Every structure is written in C-alpha cells, then in structure tokens.
Structure 1
Amino acid sequence: MIPVAPSILDRAITALAPGYGVRRYNARIALHAAGQYSGARSTRNALKAWMTRAGSADSDTLGDLETLRSRSRDLLRNNPIATGARATSRSNVVGTGLHVRAQIDRELLGMTEAQAEAWEQKAEKLFHRWAVSKAADITRHQNFYELQALVFSTVFESGDTLVLRRKAKVRAVLALALAIVEADRIVTPVEHLNDPSVRDGVRIDEDGAPVSYFVANDHPGDDVISAISGFKEVPAIGAASGEVMALHVFERVRPGLTRGVPFLAPVIETLKQLDRYSEAELMKAVVSSFFTVFMKTANDDGLASATAPLPGMASNEVTLGSGSVVELGSDESIEVAQSTANTNFDPFFLAVVRQIGVALSIPYELLVMHFTASYSASRAAIEMASQFFKERREWLVNAFCQPVYEWFIVDAVNAGLLTAPGFDDPVRRAAYLGAMWIPPSKLVLDPKKEWEAEKIAVEMGGKTLEQVVTEKTGGDWKKTTEQRGREHSLRVALKLEPETLDPNKAAGGAPEKPEPGGKTEEDQ
C-alpha cells in the first residue's frame, strides 16, 4: 500500500471529530491504493457475487481434472457437437498421419548435396518401414501414423497423455516401441500424498521440470480389476544415458502447470445444457407427432370394452400412440396441452454452437459441416481454421512426432543402420536430427483457383515445386516428377501429346498439361 500523508484539512477534521477524521483518512488511503479497472470492483451490482481467487496453475487445475475428464469423455461419447469437434480437429491436424522429410544441415556436417540427399533418403525409408509396422506400438494394435491420431484424441479428451520409450517385443526394423499411457494412470501413490514435489503423479524438481512419473499398473476405473496392483516410477531422463525416456504430451497454457486440461473444459457446461435443450425439443416433437382419438360414451358399450389390455398394461392405463383409439367413461374428459412448434430453436441452437466454435477455435461452418455462405466467406472460414490447425499440428510435432523421430535416429545410429560421424557431439547430433513433417492436404473449395495461385507462386519464386507437391498432395516431388516424365514419354510415343509442351497451353489441341507438381495420370 502506498502511504498518503494526511493533509492540513485531514488533521483539522481529526482534531474536531477524531472518529470521522480517521474513517475519512482510511477511505482516502483505500481510494489511492485501488486500481482503475472497473472489472476489479466489488461494489458494482453485476460483480458483487463474483468471487474469484488468484491461485497457482496447479491449485486452479489439479483438483478438477478427474471430473473434467469424465465429463469430457461422456460428451465425446454422446454429444454430436463434441464428437464432431474432435473428429474435425483430428482429421485436419493429423489426417492419415504426418510423414517425415529429413532435413539435415549438410553445410555444418561437411556433406556434399549428393551425400546429404542419400543420407536423408535412407533415414526416411528406414523410419517409414518402422512407422508402418504395428511393432511401433507396444500393444501391437496400431502403427506410428495411427498412434499420432490416438495421442491427439487422448489429449483432446483427457488433457494429457504419457508416451514411454520401450523395447519392442517382436522382431522389427528397430527395437523401438511406444507405450501410450492414459492420463488416469498417472496418479500420486498414497505414500507420496504429502510430498510437495509430487504433483498429481508427476515428481518435479526445484525448477518445476519433471523428474519422474508415477504410473499405475492398472487403470483406476477398470471394473475388471478390484484395486490398483501397484505403481511404477518412470524416470523422465535416463540416469546413465541422459536420453529422454518419457514424453508428457499436453498443452501448457500457464507457467507452472503440471498436467493438461481437456480441450472441452471451457464449454462442458454449455454443451451439456444444449444437449438437454435439444433432447427436450426432440421429445416435444415426438409427442406432438402422436395422433390419438379419445371416444367418450354414455355407457360401457364402446370399443375399449371389447379390447383386452396389452400384455404388461393395467386395464385402466392410457397411453398415447400413433393412430391409437382410447375410450373414456361417461363422466371423464381430457385436457390436452397444445404443443406448438418452437421457431426460436434453430437460431438459438446455432448461436450457442457459434460460441462453442469460438472457444474451440473451429469456425462455425466447419463445426457443423455446413457451408451456406458465399465463396469468400467460406474461404475465410477455412483459412482461419487452417491457422488454428497449423498451430495444433506444430504443437503435436514438437511434443510427440519429432521426439519419436529423434529416438529412432539415435537407435538407428547405435544399431549401425545409419552412419553419422561425430554423432556424440551435441551440435553435429542436432544437425543430423533436422526434419520437416508433411501435413494432410488442406480443404479446397475451388481447386482451379487454388492451383492457379500455386502456379503463380512458383513462377514468381515464392514457392518451389517441392513445396507445392508437399502441401497439396503430401507426395514426394522427385517421385512425382519422375512418374510424370515416364507418362509423358509414353504419351509422346503413342502420339497423344507433342514432345515439347507449351507451359501455358498444349499444342495441337492436346489436353492441358497438369499444373506443376500436381497429380500424375497414374494418380488419377
């Protein structure tokens, strides 16, 4: 608090009325110390009941994680919007899998261009052979490209996951396997509950860096197992090798945050309330669709008296149904609450879905898979989504894909599959481990316009053909060019196109040349 010296007026008032003077002086001090943000006021009617606490990242998060995970999973099982949000994010971030392109620093390593290209191609082929094999998964259910989608989905759903470096149990290109541990299995054992260095299953050092992870042998929610059979403390860094042994994959949004939060956390309540509202409207529509005739008679001679009740129904039980006929007694009548169509349902539903899309950084059009706006508006939505997906993809690459690639290269060098002189030197090692990851193809609304833009970018020198092929098809530019050359030679031999093609228009009325780096005839 900044001290405020009492003025002459303060001293005079205090001398005449001590109690009032002290209160006046204290009010001046409080006014001087307070900031100027209206959002921090507690005197405003809208903010009086808004009680908050400035806690640390872990104290604000860890106690809620179990509930957040279970509710997030329930929504992803049963809520269409939540399920669609995850599917849209996964297909645009991971797709069928991110593929690696080795990019070593040949100048630093003293290699010629040919030597560097040969080394990169061998590294890529070895890694791809390992990645397509299910031996890459310790459970032998998925290959590495499928594990990328699993890791992304798990983090989306639970907030984080742990990837352990294991030795393959079967013969493979390389004895490297990955074990994906669900977030629930990273828990603090009872004997460490009072240890301040253990935060929800993660032991940290004085700098907040992870030292080890306590992994339960069994899932705490497994109904088949009555109790957890024990824990294993997995080191984050190997004591002897100094190599990373575990990857804790999560999005860290605050300094000091030890565990990740499910992506749906900000919209869990909104999604659930919208789900209930939709169910109520659906039930209302179903009930309104029933057509039931009530017959009122003056005596007991009616249709219903000759009809036996259905099995499981009491004789006096009345049910609505499609085309049902129900008899009423002479002194009975009915009152029906007329159900009218809710014309506000669709606008309200869409307005809430837009808010959910904002929270998840997914444009409304992609979230509901419905494009009704103009081409420009739809294109803008896709471009905005692409930026978000690119950010997520970079995070996944840095947290999971690139570290796994580095594990593979290290093991391949140690196994003699790759020759890397000076690999023990940290600088040269980093030069060998450079790589680029190929994303899935972006959604295209107008392929002709997109390819024309790429052609102009290549002609102006803003892009290379390799970049175009990589971004548009995810293919290999060299292989695509070689295949296009073979196709061209064959078509020339069959006189289907001239030997020399005009870059803008094929001569002699021949079919137009595919755009640079585009699909080959074989692809089509």
Structure 2
Amino acid sequence: MKLAAPSFTDRLLASVAPAYATRRYQTRIALNLAGQYAGARGNRAALKAWRPHAGSADGDSIGDLPALRSRSRDLNRNNPIATGARSTSRANIVGSGLRARSKINHDLLGISPEAADKWERYTETLFDLWAQSKLCDISLAQNFYELQALVFNTVFESGDTFVLRRTPKRPNAIVPLALNVVEADRVATPTDKQGDYYVRDGVKIDDDGAPVAYYVLDDHPGDNPNFTITNYREIPAFGAKSGEQMVLHIFERLRPGLHRGIPQLAPVIELLKQLDRFTDAELMKAVVSSFFTVFLKTDGDDGLAPAVAPGQHPTSADFFGPGEVTMGPGTVVDIGTNESIETAQPANTANFDPFFTSVVRQIGVALSIPFEMLMLHFTASYSASRAALEMAAMFFRDRRTWLVRNFCAPVYEWFMTDAINAGLITAPGFFEDPVKRAAWLGAQWIGPARIILDPLKEWKAETEAVNLGARTIEAVIIERGGDDFEQTTAQRAKEHKARAAAKLEPEILAPSGMGSQVKEDVSDQPADEPKKAKKAEKK
C-alpha cells in the first residue's frame, strides 16, 4: 500500500517542532491503515482501557500455568460445580474404560476375511489381558482402563499430562510394557536452561517447534516446597535408533505454537470462585435467619445463667468471655438492665436461584456441557431435554475421539510393537512397511453407552433407521448399548439356541432388521396357501 506523502502542514511543523510533526504524521498514517471493525477501535468509551497484549501462544500461557493449575485443582476438590463437570465428563467420555476392538484392513494386507477375523479376536483378547492387569502401570496401582480415567482427570485439572514408555522386567507380564503417568508440575525447565529459546516449560523443541526431549523431575515439586529441586532427567521424545515415540504429551492444542496445555476450567476460574463465595454467603445468611434466640432483659441480677456453648461448662477455660453472646436455635440469652437488642434484617434470598442458574448456564457454555447435564437437572420438556443430551453427546464423542488419538491408540501401538517383538503376534511387514503397519493397527474403541431419555421412543427410532438402511446394527449396539457387535451377536445366537432347544421360541427367526418378528411357518409352501386353507375352513 502506497503511503501518503507529508503535506505542506507536515513539512512546516517539521521545521518548527520535529518530534510533534513526526507523531502527527504517524498517527495520520495509522488512521489511514485502520480497518472497519468496531471492536478494534480505541476511541470508544467501553474499549479505551481494553488493550490486551498480542503475545505468542506460549507467552500468553506459560507464566500463568502454575496459578491456573493450583486454582483449578482447588476448585475440583472443593467446588461442587467443578467436581460435577469433571465427573460427568469422565463418566460419559471414559466410563469404565474404552475397550479396543481390532479392525484390520484385510484387503490391504492380502489375507482372507476369515483369517483376519481370527487374528483380530486373538489380538484384542491378548491386549485386553494386558489392559486388565495392573502390571501395565509402572506404579502397580491401576490397570489400563483405570489409567484412562486418570489421564482424563489430570488433563482436565492441570491442562496436560505426560505418559512415559517404560519396559521393566516383571515376571508374569504379557509384554514388557508399563505406563508411567507424570503430572504436569514435574515437567519444568532446569535452572541452567532458563532463557533458552528452545526449552518451553520443560519441553525441548527443534527449529520446527516439534518436541525433541522433556525435562522431568524425579520428585513432585510439591513434596519439597522449601527446597530447590535440581534432579532433572532429560527424556528423549523418540528413540535414537528405533525412532519409536517414547513420551506421550497429552493436551489440547488451542493455538499454533502452544507447547503446554491449559486447564479446562481456566476460562471460568474466577466465575466459579465468586459463585462459590456468593453461595457460602447465602447459606450462612439462611442459617442465621433460621436461628430463634430469646433475649431476657431483667431489672436486677436475678436473670438466667449466662449462655453456655454445647459441651462446655461455665467453669471451663474456653467459656464465653465478657460481652460475648452466641446465637442458636432455641437459645435463651440473658442481657443487662440497660442493654437492648438491635437486629439487622437479612436481605431477601428469593433472587438467589435465578442468579445462580444464570451463572451456571454461562459456565456450562464455556465447558461445552448443557445446563441440564451439568446440574443433572431434567425438568424441561422431552424435546428440550433430548436436545440437551444430543448436544452433550456430540461434545463427549469429540472428546472421546481426542482421548483415543492422543492416548489409547499410541498405547495400543506400543503394545503391538512389544507383542510382535516377543513373538506373541504375527504381523508381516509391520516394521518394514508403514502402510501395512497402519493396516495392522486398525482398531475401534468402544466407550460407555449413550443416555436414553425415553427407551421406547428411541429404540423404535433406531429400528426404523436400521430398516431404512440409514444405520447399521453394529453402530446401534456400540452407541446405544456400549457393547461389541461380534460378542453381542454370538451371545444372542447362544441364547436363541438354548431357548429353541427348550421350545421357548422357534428355531428360525425372520430376518427383518432390528424389529424382526418370529416366523411361525418356514415350510416351502407358497405364501397364499394358508389363506386358501382359511377360506376352505370358513366354507
């Protein structure tokens, strides 16, 4: 863009007051380059004092992370709404654990569907045996399904977490693989690396911004708050020879160039704390208003004995001192002759619930959790409640996919690598061909079932969708039941065989989608023969 040349006035002022002329000319140029967004104006009353710094992703966040983490954890410990948001999200995203179902590309691998099915059943069974054992945890405290919940909780509270790939030698272990979950505080920049451009809060990066190594403390800094901890270990992000990923840094990247995660509660920390204080004040006001205290005023010294706190004796050392009075339900307090009581009437609390609800709705919007799910309060119409559940299910599905891609799938790949190296699984081309490697690693992760508000209506809708071909039975079983299609089908076949043997149902069922009806007559006679027989009977 061509800049305007200085005017005659500019040149005249430059000869008299050069500094002023320069500022005047720069201001005019800036105004000419200004856009048309009202939100960027600096001359509006509402925006004059609002001048946030346009920093980088790391510059805007890393310095605030210690305070954000500690406050977020305090809210998750003591604030009911924060605790409920985390618990509701975890229950619907992780549940009792995401289970892997192997889904390899048999066409790409050049094997038959029967061989692929057999390989899939064996592999997922082997993985499930490893996942159910606490040997998969370096601390022997949780199995893989419980570690999923731990990782989710840690990312929710702290913004990110790290999972180290460990290979301890343990007897009875299926594969030499154990996961070491590291809290965010333990990854930090050593003292001698302070100011290093390539070290971002414990994450060492290269020229492209990709992680190269992580500086991990042996102990949590909270264990020794009064001492300087210097026992850092530099753990490479990838193996030097194998190129395998050795560390999983699990966080949601909100901006390009962001190398540490932000706690989920960061946008609503102040709102939650203020609402917490407001709730405590309203609760205390309600408690004080409920007290019924009688004050006895006498002309002499013949009044009642001074008020005594419950469990105390008038002669005890912690008895109420002079001028000290306590209120309580049904309390009688003696006051002096020339003393009187003045009370301050508490304000009306009728507006507490509307205000509280309004603030919680804002918190729900920030956390992508509808108000009904956040408060577990379904009092609206069926349509409104179902819409809230659908919106929540969409959010939970996205977060589940994020967890699978960043934690479950990489751990599954670690397991496959160790199992193939140990000779437990045969997968030709796994290490030589990246395409075949991806084909062997194909898997589907099954999470908790969706909430069904009206089972009859929603199962009828699913039946119609299957009969129209818009949905598959497998998708319905996974989403609505949280079960595996092959296992469910095998169990149904087993149950049908047992019931047919006991003459509780016919041996053959009519294949008409989910809403299949029992076919009573399976003979080879034409369909119109029964009608002719009925007409003959009537005659």
Whether TM exceeds 0.5 here: the answer is yes
Whether contact under 8 Å (2:165, 2:180) holds in the other structure is: yes
Tell me how far 1:485 sits from its aligned partner. 2.3
Secondary structure of residue in 1 paired with 2:487: helix
**Which residue number corresponds to residue 275 of structure 2?**
274
Q: Which range moved further: 454-463 or 158-167? A: 454-463
Match for 1:309: what amino acid? P
Within 5 Å, which residues of 2 pair with 1:17-56? 28-56=28-56
CA shift in 2, pair 1:26/1:410, >3 Å: closer
**Which residue number corresponds to residue 522 of structure 1?**
none
Q: Distance in 1 between matches of 2:488 and 2:10?
A: 90
Q: Which range moved further: 469-478 or 59-68? A: 469-478
1:362 maps to 2:362: no
Tell me how far 1:227 sits from its aligned partner. 5.0
Deviations 1:25-60 (A, max 9, x none): 665433211111111112111111112111000110
Q: Distance in 1 between matches of 2:4 and 2:499?
A: 91
Whether contact under 8 Å (2:134, 2:142) holds in the other structure is: yes
Tell me how far 1:497 sits from its aligned partner. 2.5
Tell me how far 1:305 sits from its aligned partner. 6.6
Secondary structure of residue in 2 paired with 1:215: strand
**Which residue number corresponds to residue 531 of structure 2?**
none
Secondary structure of residue in 1 paired with 2:457: helix
Secondary structure of residue in 1 paired with 2:418: helix
Query: Which ranges in structure 1 are unaligned for 5 or more consecutive residues?
Result: 509-524
Whether contact under 8 Å (2:187, 2:214) holds in the other structure is: yes
Whether contact under 8 Å (1:154, 1:182) holds in the other structure is: yes
Whether contact under 8 Å (2:136, 2:143) holds in the other structure is: yes
Match for 1:83: what amino acid? T
Secondary structure of residue in 2 paired with 1:304: coil
Tell me how far 1:84 sits from its aligned partner. 0.3
Q: Which range moved further: 167-176 or 379-388? A: 167-176
**Which residue number corresponds to residue 529 of structure 2?**
none
Q: Distance in 2 between matches of 1:410 and 1:379?
A: 43
Match of 2:438 among 430, 441, 455: 430
**Which residue number corresponds to residue 66 of structure 2?**
66
**Which residue number corresponds to residue 287 of structure 1?**
288
1:444 maps to 2:449: no
Deviations 1:348-402 (A, max 9, x none): 0000000000000000000000001111111111111111111111111111000
Tell me how far 1:122 sits from its aligned partner. 1.2
Match of 2:486 among 470, 478, 483: 478
Tell me how far 1:505 sits from its aligned partner. 4.2
**Which residue number corresponds to residue 351 of structure 1?**
358
Match of 2:327 among 314, 320, 326: 320
**Which residue number corresponds to residue 466 of structure 1?**
474
Tell me how far 1:480 sits from its aligned partner. 2.0
CA shift in 2, pair 1:57/1:323, >3 Å: same
CA shift in 2, pair 1:40/1:2, >3 Å: farther
**Which residue number corresponds to residue 338 of structure 1?**
345
Q: Which range moved further: 297-306 or 329-338? A: 297-306
Query: Which ranges in structure 2 are unaligned for 5 or more consecutive residues?
Result: 521-539
Q: Which range moved further: 84-93 or 102-111? A: 102-111
Q: Distance in 2 between matches of 1:73 and 1:315?
A: 43
CA shift in 2, pair 1:211/1:13, >3 Å: closer
Secondary structure of residue in 2 paired with 1:221: helix
Q: Distance in 2 between matches of 1:234 and 1:379?
A: 48
Match for 1:34: what amino acid? A
Match for 1:394: what amino acid? T
Match of 2:314 among 306, 309, 312: 309
Tell me how far 1:492 sits from its aligned partner. 2.8
Deviations 1:433-490 (A, max 9, x none): 1111112101110111222222222222223222222222222322322322232233
**Which residue number corresponds to residue 170 of structure 1?**
170
Match for 2:256: what amino acid? P
1:498 maps to 2:506: yes
Q: Distance in 2 between matches of 1:152 and 1:404?
A: 15
CA shift in 2, pair 1:414/1:374, >3 Å: same
Whether contact under 8 Å (1:217, 1:229) holds in the other structure is: no
Whether contact under 8 Å (1:218, 1:229) holds in the other structure is: no
Match for 2:246: what amino acid? M
Within 5 Å, which residues of 2 pair with 1:81-480? 81-171=81-171, 172-223=173-224, 227-228=228-229, 230-304=231-305, 309=314, 311=316, 312=318, 313-423=320-430, 424-480=432-488
Match for 2:266: what amino acid? A
Q: Distance in 2 between matches of 1:16 and 1:147?
A: 71
Q: Distance in 2 between matches of 1:76 and 1:180?
A: 20
CA shift in 2, pair 1:72/1:430, >3 Å: same
Secondary structure of residue in 2 paired with 1:92: helix
Q: Distance in 2 between matches of 1:431 and 1:53?
A: 47
CA shift in 2, pair 1:16/1:178, >3 Å: closer
Tell me how far 1:123 sits from its aligned partner. 1.1
Whether contact under 8 Å (2:307, 2:325) holds in the other structure is: no
Whether contact under 8 Å (2:307, 2:332) holds in the other structure is: no
Deviations 1:93-147 (A, max 9, x none): 1111111111111111111111111111111011001000000100010000000
Q: Distance in 1 between matches of 2:126 and 2:114?
A: 18
Tell me how far 1:427 sits from its aligned partner. 1.7
Q: Which range moved further: 191-200 or 142-151? A: 191-200
Q: Distance in 2 between matches of 1:103 and 1:499?
A: 32
Whether contact under 8 Å (1:266, 1:359) holds in the other structure is: yes
Deviations 1:2-29 (A, max 9, x none): 51246xxx54897799989968866543
Match for 1:50: what amino acid? W
CA shift in 2, pair 1:2/1:31, >3 Å: farther
Q: Distance in 2 between matches of 1:16 and 1:438?
A: 74
Secondary structure of residue in 1 paired with 2:274: helix
Q: Which range moved further: 124-133 or 164-173? A: 164-173
Q: Which range moved further: 233-242 or 332-341? A: 332-341
Match for 1:322: what amino acid? P
Whether contact under 8 Å (2:190, 2:230) holds in the other structure is: no
Deviations 1:265-316 (A, max 9, x none): 0000000000000000001111111111111111111113798836312254
Aligned-CA RMSD value: 2.4
Whether contact under 8 Å (1:138, 1:169) holds in the other structure is: no
Match for 2:361: what amino acid? R
Whether contact under 8 Å (1:135, 1:168) holds in the other structure is: no
**Which residue number corresponds to residue 518 of structure 1?**
none
CA shift in 2, pair 1:12/1:412, >3 Å: closer
